[in-house]
Amino acid sequence: MDTDELRRRLTPEQYEVCVNHGTEPPFSGRYARSGPEGAYLCVCCGRRLFESGSKFDSGTGWPSFTMPASEEDVTYEADTSMGMARTEVNCRCGSHLGHVFDDGPGPGRQRYCINSASLVHEKDAGGGP
């Protein structure tokens, strides 16, 4: 990722989340409670990451999904910060998205807990982020 270009293009909150692996406050993000039908894209590169059909209300304050649109577009890393062991989820471009937990609904039991700041809905993208 070209961090200088991202600093110019993203809001300070988006930059903090995506580049510095930050977390937005719960229930503060644009897509925390609901969101339109369709695809959620990476705010940094425009890659299609999640579909509205896999979105659910986890009650945690962050957008939650049961699976990514494609496993090829996300990467996973061990995250032992904040005194706990978690699995970090990143876009293939390197942008931090959030974390995945094994307490979700459905057969896969996955809950992708994703920061709204790292996403843009395809309807809001206007042909690209």
Query: Which residues are marked as active site?
Result: 113
Nearest to 122 by CA among 41, 9, 18: 41
Helix (H) or strand (E) holding 4: helix 3-9
Burial level of 41, CB count in 10 A (0-12/13-18/19+)?
Answer: buried
Nearest to 113 by CA among 10, 9, 17: 17
| Torsion region of 46: left, alpha or beta (phi above 0 gives left; psi -120 to 50 gives alpha) | left
